[in-house]
Each structure stands twice: as structure tokens, then as C-alpha cells.
């Protein structure tokens, strides 16, 4: 047995005029505070970091009261983050091994556990010194809109009085110590009593020499039961913690469940008196231990300083976490507090602040990779989907769900806030940046066309073309197609980086007007064909074409800024069967297409948190072009689609979307000879109605650790905006090339009603290279 004196000495800096936690009462006489000699800090504290920012968003007024604002420890750790989620410590046993509590105080009421008892031979747990009362209040003093309150103001206190009988009244004159002493055997009995009482955390605002085997064994029994032990670091301003707290470094005893509490003051600066983290840095956590307002044994409020008052701040925070997240083990709570602490001083774990300053802001937010409750599907807190142009400004209602973080803690999230929208593509800029040339050759029933672009340094040179050696060195192939006539009625086409529609037009012999913005017959979202093939057979004047195409849907990655990483490529395959014929001067086509997107839905990217939706879409297309008069033509196209969305990753639900697109144009060739003019109005592909019906987890039971409620919720994907494109074009052949002029106007670009109209003019002169 050792006799242990409290080295975490109290510094009674100022007595306050109110009683208890700032409640009512008359003015009490001010006892002379003991003389406190503050040692010179070693090493010198680092410069003060910036003050803790105010919570964002502004806390609800229910807990953000003047009483809370006066509670310096709670404000420093932002305990509002816990209170606003309903965590107050209710139902959690918090053990205080100290000099007892003031039984006449109203600050604890009925929250003193029946398991509380004296473990040192005193007749009662009633505090004679005041230190125990102040420590208990700092951890769990009541909230009554007056003065200050404890961190976990609804926690149940297991009070274990351990001071040696009569020692608290034996203070020596001029001593910084209150006079209380504690036998280590009594402390050991207190630790065992706390364990059997079901305490989640044990607070030891005590200090002295290293723990003897009996006390260390009791600590070991507590940690083996998953109980967290918080020990004051000591008040000598030393480079290492008090020997008593050094048990935290004994892995066989502490099991990483012993936290050493250091003290900070304003601006997160280490207190001059506080022992530094030193060799116990990985087990050290700092909290406010300066000017902490709390009552003494006579219910008189003082401002207390010492690591004795940093420890109960941490103990109270542990009670908040234990109540809010009943699934957490002691080891997980400790890891969470270390992981979410404010990093002050040197970066990372350092020899002054250890793990940093306790901060509940992040501790009450999801930590690590989150998953949708009931699944193993990862969920982003920022972006789970990027909508495509056909969905535009679709107004999405709330999509409430429960997610689990790395500690299997349940959090409510509105997944709708993680859905991003694609900005309209700068279509004109992309068209004007084209620097390509098509080279074609024909022999017998075969034709070949290769699209060339200027050679980029380091790429493979083009070979076996009709170009000269010098031209070959300066060009590279970016696309090509080959057509072959099999017989008088049958022909085939193969393409690289060409859409199947291009191959079909080549086989039919159709030449579409060259509009830059008001396009027709496209998918309506960004894509890039890789390869395609088509075969056409003529039966009695009706052409039957079958075509296939493979490529990539190109969707913006919501978390990327620019460059290649800003885009995700997802494969697609499509197959088309079409019929074409001429009815006099009218050329008509009718086609049915099946589009299979492996990881997207009409170009939109849904990540796992929203079911990693993918789709099969069936389009029906019709077009007609009437050539009349001298070079005049009138054309129209229409597309209607039905998309069936399927979800993966254990996310329940499905979706059906109906889409539409159309275009109409009029034009004339040969106004002045080798020229042409045209006007088109078009609506790009747009979701007319539909969305995804989700079945999302909306309640989580910690008892069974499972989802116990799912709610059907609808994600609307039909936009309010409706893009309409109007474009006029004029093209004329010039010596060595051609000149083309385009004027366009776009209403609701990208199907976003809030965007201003987009309009412009392009003049392009193309020559060979």
C-alpha cells in the first residue's frame, strides 16, 4: 500500500458570488485562495493556434444558452455537437474516485448511483474537501440555465470516496495541496467498485508516485472489462506525465484504454502547470483545465485550475459518446477521440499535446468510409451521383437514409444533397476546336475513309495511307470506316471511333445537314464510340439495316477539378435494326435501338450509395426528308425512349424513365452555286417523366445491429427546363477549302431553366493539312 497525495493540485483563483453551478443563493464570504507556484513550462509551449471556430451551422438555441457559453470546457470541445443529437449522458454510469461529493448540493439530484460508496473507511461519501465535488460537477453537473453545467449533465455518477479518513482536514499552512491523501489500496477498491457498478468510464483526478502492483491490477481488471480510465497528467509542468499516470504506457495493464488528460487554456495553448505528453504522447489528450467554474463542498462556486479539471471534461465527453452510440466499445471510443482531436502544436502526435485537444465536432460526424445501413455499399458524404443533360435541373425531393461509419455508428443523411448536376457542355467551342481531315479512297465495291488529326509528339505515325511521306509524318488517325458491297443488294460497314449511325448513313447513302449545335439523332449525353459495324440488305425497295456499336459514356466525376481525372468512362453497347425506303421524293427511316449502359443511366453516374444504377434503354426513331424544288429539302426526326433502371449493391428499388427528342429543318443547296443554307429547331434528348423508386433504410436498431425500418422514396429525374436549339447555317466552297457560318440560340441550356439563354455565332474556314 502507498499513500498517495493529490499532485493535481487545485488553484482556487477566484470565488464567485453565486452558489453551486451558478444557481441562486446569497453572496458567500471569500476564503483566501492557497498560494500557487506555477513552474516554468518545459519545453516552451508552441505559439497559440487560432481560436476554435464557432460551430457551423449556428446551433439551435435550445442548448446554446448563456449557461453553455460560460462552460468553458464544453465550448472548447463543442459539446453542442453532441447535445443537438440528443446526447446528454443519460443512462451512462460515470465513476469519480475522489473525495466524495456534496450530498446537500442540488447539482446532482437523483443522479448519484446507489452503487456509490466510501472505499477508504469514511462513514459517508459526503465531501469534506471540495475537490471531489468540483470534479464531479465538471463531468456531470446539472443544466439549469444558471452559471455553468457539466459536460454530461444527465449522466449517472458512481461516487467512490477514497480519501484517507481525516486527511482532508489536515492541510498544512502555505501548502498548495488541500491536505487530502489517498491510499492506493483504497483507490484499487474504488476501481473494482466502479467496474462492478457498470461504469463506462472511471475518472482519476489524482496523482503521485507510480502505481503499485495492486492498483495496477485493478486498473487491468477494469480495462479488461472495456472500461475507459481517465487520469490527470499532473501539475508540475514537466516534460513527461506524472508517474501515477504513467500506467497508460503499460500495454498489459492499460490495453490502450487509459487516457492521460493534459490541460489547455484559451487558444488551445498548453497550460503552464500541465505536465506534457512526453513518453505517453500516444495516450495523451488535452482539454480545458484552466478557470473551470464549479462548486466546492459548501456549494460555493470557484474557478479551478489543474489537470484535475481537464480529466472530467474528457470523462464527460466519453459519457456523451457512450450514450449516443451504444454499439461503441471502450477501445472504439478512445480511438475515435484520438482520431478526431484538434491537431495543435507539431503536426500529428507530438510530445506536448499528444493526440491533440478533444473536439466533439468531428467525433459526432461520420468517420472513415461510410456505408448504407444494411449493405456493404460505400456512401460518399459529398457526391453520390452526377446527373446528365437529359435530366437537367430535375427537382429532387429529400432522400432520407441511415448510413454507418467505420465504427458502425448510425447517422441520418439526405442523399438528395449529394446529387450533383452536369454543367451544359460548351458545344460550340468543341465544334470549333476540331482540326481534322477525312481522307477517302475507293476501289471496286470497297470504300475507305480515315479521319486524320495533326500528329501529337510521341504518338505512332500513320502508315499505309494515300498520303505522302511528309503528310504521314504530320498526321495521326483518330477514326476510320470501311464499307464493302457484297452484292447488288447487300453491303457492310466497319468503323473505328465511329458511331453506328454514321455507318448506317454511309450504307443508305444519306447526307445529313451540318449543324453544330442543333444536332439530331445523337444520344443526348456525352459519349465516345469505340467500334461499330453495320450490314444493309435491300428487299423490294426497302432497306433493312442491322448495326451494333460499343463505346464509352463519359460522365463528369464530381470530386475532380479538371484534366483526365475529371471524367469517368463507362462502357455501353447498343444494337439497332432499321428500315429505310423512298416514297417518291420523301426518304423515310424507322429504327429500334437497344442501349445497354453498364454503369450509367442515360449518361448519369450513380455511385454505390444510390444503388450504382445502370440501365437498358429502348429507343424508337423515325425520320423523313423531303427533297422538293431546286435544291430545297425539309427534314424531321423524332425519338422516344423507355429506360429501365436497375440498382445494385443491396440497395432496393428500380426506375422507369420516358425520354423524347425531336428536330426539324429546312435547307437549300446551290443558292449561288457551290453553297448551301439551312435552319433547324431541335430539342435534345430530355426525360419527359420518371425517376427511380428507392427503398432506403430509415431506422437502425443498435440492439440487434440491424435496420428495422425501410421507406419507399422517389427520386424524380424529369427536369423543369426544356432545352430548345435554333440554328441557322451557311456554307460556301472557297479556294483551297470551305467557309461555314453558324448562328445559334439555346433556351434552357442543358435542360436547366435557371440558366440564361445561350447564343452565339461561329465562322469557320477549313483547309487541308
CA 314-318-319 angle, 5° bins: 120
Tell me the C-alpha distance between 154 and 61, whole Å: 19
Map residue 146 onto helix, strand or coil. coil
Pairing status of strand 419-421 against strand 385-387: parallel
Closest C-alpha among 287, 226, 217, 277 to residue 250:
217
Tell me the C-alpha distance between 450 and 440, whole Å: 6
Pairing status of strand 284-288 against strand 258-264: parallel
As a whole number of Å, the CA-based R_g of the chain is: 38
Beta strands in 345-454 (DSSP E): 370-372, 378-379, 385-387, 400-404, 410-414, 419-421, 437-443, 446-454
Interhelix angle for 330-339 vs 311-324, to 10°? 120
Map residue 276 onto helix, strand or coil. coil
DSSP 318-334: HHHHHHH-TT--HHHHH
* Contact residues for 562 (Cβ-Cβ < 8 A; gap 6+): none
Return the number of other C-beta atoms located less than 10 Å from residue 222's C-beta: 26
Question: Which helix (H) or strand (E) segment is 473 a member of?
Answer: helix 469-473
Question: Which residues face 412 on adjacent strands?
Answer: 402
* Contact residues for 759 (Cβ-Cβ < 8 A; gap 6+): 744, 745, 746
Residues annotated as catalytic (active site), given as ranges: 98, 131, 308
Tell me the C-alpha distance between 649 and 607, whole Å: 10
Tell the residue number behind the cell numbers 508552441, with chain if given. Answer: 46
Tell me the C-alpha distance between 210 and 187, whole Å: 13
Distance set, CA 250 to CA 210, 259, 615 (Å):
11, 12, 57
Tell the residue number behind the cell numbers 484535475, with chain if given. Answer: 308
Tell me the C-alpha distance between 247 and 262, whole Å: 15
Tell me the C-alpha distance between 479 and 384, whole Å: 34
Cell of 491: 453491303
Interhelix angle for 184-196 vs 213-224, to 10°? 10
* Contact residues for 391 (Cβ-Cβ < 8 A; gap 6+): 421, 602, 604, 687, 717, 718, 719, 751
Tell me the C-alpha distance between 634 and 624, whole Å: 8
Tell me the C-alpha distance between 228 and 259, whole Å: 8
Map residue 184 onto helix, strand or coil. helix
Tell me the C-alpha distance between 537 and 541, whole Å: 10
Distance set, CA 752 to CA 293, 390, 686, 698, 756 (Å):
56, 10, 11, 31, 9
Cell of 207: 496523482
Q: What is the DSSP letter of 51?
A: P
Closest C-alpha among 367, 379, 397 to residue 649:
379
Amino acid at each position: 500500500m502507498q499513500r498517495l497525495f493529490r499532485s493535481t493540485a487545485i488553484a482556487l483563483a477566484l470565488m464567485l458570488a453565486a452558489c453551486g453551478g451558478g444557481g441562486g443563493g446569497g453572496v458567500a464570504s471569500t476564503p483566501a485562495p492557497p498560494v500557487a507556484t506555477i513552474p516554468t513550462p518545459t519545453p516552451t509551449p508552441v505559439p497559440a493556434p487560432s481560436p476554435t471556430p464557432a460551430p457551423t451551422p449556428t446551433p439551435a438555441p435550445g442548448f446554446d444558452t448563456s449557461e453553455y457559453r460560460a462552460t468553458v470546457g464544453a465550448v472548447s470541445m463543442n459539446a453542442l455537437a453532441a447535445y443537438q443529437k440528443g446526447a446528454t449522458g443519460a443512462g451512462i454510469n460515470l465513476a469519480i474516485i475522489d473525495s466524495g461529493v456534496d450530498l446537500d448540493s442540488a447539482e446532482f439530484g437523483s443522479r448519484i448511483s446507489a452503487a456509490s460508496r466510501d472505499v477508504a473507511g469514511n462513514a459517508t461519501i459526503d465531501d469534506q474537501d471540495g475537490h471531489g465535488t468540483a470534479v464531479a460537477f465538471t463531468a456531470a453537473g446539472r443544466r439549469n440555465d444558471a452559471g455553468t453545467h457539466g459536460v454530461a449533465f444527465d449522466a449517472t455518477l458512481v461516487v467512490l470516496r477514497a480519501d484517507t479518513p481525516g486527511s482532508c482536514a489536515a492541510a498544512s499552512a502555505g501548502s498548495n495541496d488541500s491536505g487530502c491523501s489517498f491510499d492506493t489500496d483504497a483507490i484499487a477498491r474504488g476501481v473494482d467498485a466502479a467496474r462492478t457498478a457498470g461504469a463506462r468510464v472511471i475518472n482519476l483526478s489524482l496523482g503521485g508516485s507510480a502505481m503499485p502492483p495492486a492498483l495496477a491490477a485493478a486498473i487491468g481488471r477494469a480495462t479488461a472489462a472495456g472500461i475507459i480510465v481517465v487520469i490527470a497528467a499532473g501539475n508540475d509542468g514537466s516534460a513527461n506525465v506524472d508517474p501515477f499516470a504513467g500506467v497508460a504506457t503499460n500495454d498489459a495493464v492499460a490495453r490502450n484504454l487509459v487516457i492521460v488528460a493534459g490541460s489547455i487554456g484559451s487558444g488551445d495553448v498548453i497550460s503552464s502547470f500541465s505536465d506534457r505528453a512526453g513518453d505517453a504522447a500516444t495516450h495523451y489528450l488535452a482539454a480545458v483545465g484552466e478557470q473551470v467554474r464549479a462548486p466546492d463542498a459548501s456549494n460555493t462556486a470557484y474557478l479551478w485550475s489543474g489537470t484535475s479539471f481537464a480529466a472530467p471534461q474528457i470523462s464527460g465527453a466519453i459519457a456523451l459518446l457512450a450514450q449516443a452510440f451504444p454499439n461503441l466499445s471502450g477501445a472504439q471510443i478512445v480511438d475515435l477521440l484520438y482520431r478526431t482531436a484538434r491537431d495543435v502544436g507539431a503536426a500529428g502526435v507530438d510530445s506536448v499535446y499528444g493526440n491533440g485537444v478533444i473536439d466533439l465536432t468531428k467525433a459526432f460526424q461520420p468517420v472513415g468510409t461510410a456505408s448504407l445501413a444494411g449493405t456493404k455499399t460505400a456512401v460518399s458524404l459529398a457526391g453520390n451521383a452526377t446527373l446528365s443533360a437529359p435530366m437537367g435541373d430535375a427537382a429532387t425531393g429529400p432522400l432520407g437514409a441511415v448510413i454507418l461509419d467505420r465504427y458502425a455508428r448510425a447517422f441520418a443523411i439526405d442523399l438528395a444533397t449529394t446529387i450533383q448536376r452536369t454543367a451544359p457542355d460548351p458545344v460550340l467551342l468543341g465544334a470549333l476546336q476540331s482540326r481534322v481531315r477525312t481522307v477517302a479512297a475507293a476501289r471496286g465495291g470497297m470504300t475507305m475513309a480515315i479521319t486524320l488529326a495533326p500528329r501529337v509528339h510521341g504518338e505512332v505515325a500513320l502508315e499505309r495511307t494515300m498520303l505522302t511521306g511528309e503528310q504521314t509524318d504530320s498526321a495521326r488517325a483518330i477514326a476510320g470506316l470501311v464499307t464493302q458491297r457484297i452484292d447488288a443488294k447487300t453491303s457492310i460497314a466497319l468503323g473505328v471511333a465511329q458511331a453506328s449511325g454514321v455507318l448506317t448513313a454511309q450504307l443508305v447513302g444519306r447526307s445529313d445537314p451540318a449543324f453544330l449545335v442543333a444536332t439530331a439523332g445523337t444520344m443526348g449525353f456525352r459519349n465516345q464510340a469505340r467500334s461499330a459495324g453495320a450490314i444493309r440488305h435491300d428487299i423490294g425497295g426497302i432497306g433493312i439495316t442491322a448495326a451494333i456499336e460499343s463505346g464509352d459514356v463519359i460522365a463528369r466525376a464530381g470530386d475532380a477539378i479538371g484534366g483526365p481525372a475529371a471524367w469517368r468512362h463507362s462502357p455501353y453497347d447498343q444494337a439497332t435494326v432499321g428500315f429505310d425506303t423512298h416514297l417518291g421524293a420523301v426518304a423515310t427511316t424507322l429504327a429500334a435501338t437497344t442501349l445497354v449502359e453498364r454503369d450509367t443511366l442515360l449518361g448519369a453516374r450513380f455511385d454505390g450509395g444510390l444503388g450504382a444504377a445502370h440501365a437498358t434503354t429502348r429507343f424508337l426513331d423515325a425520320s423523313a426528308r423531303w427533297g422538293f424544288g431546286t435544291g430545297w429539302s425539309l427534314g424531321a426526326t423524332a425519338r422516344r425512349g423507355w429506360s429501365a433502371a436497375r440498382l445494385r449493391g443491396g440497395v432496393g428499388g428500380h426506375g422507369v424513365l420516358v425520354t423524347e427528342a425531336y428536330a426539324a429543318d429546312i435547307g437549300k443547296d446551290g443558292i449561288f452555286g457551290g453553297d448551301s443554307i439551312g435552319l433547324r429547331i431541335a430539342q435534345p434528348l430530355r426525360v419527359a417523366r420518371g425517376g427511380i423508386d428507392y427503398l432506403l433504410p430509415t431506422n437502425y436498431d443498435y440492439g440487434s445491429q440491424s435496420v428495422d425500418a425501410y421507406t419507399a422514396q422517389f427520386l424524380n429525374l424529369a427536369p423543369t427546363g426544356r432545352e430548345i436549339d435554333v440554328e441557322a447555317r451557311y456554307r460556301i466552297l472557297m479556294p483551297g477549302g470551305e467557309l461555314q457560318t453558324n448562328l445559334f440560340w439555346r433556351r434552357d441550356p442543358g435542360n436547366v431553366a435557371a440558366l440564361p439563354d445561350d447564343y452565339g455565332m461561329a465562322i469557320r474556314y477549313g483547309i487541308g493539312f
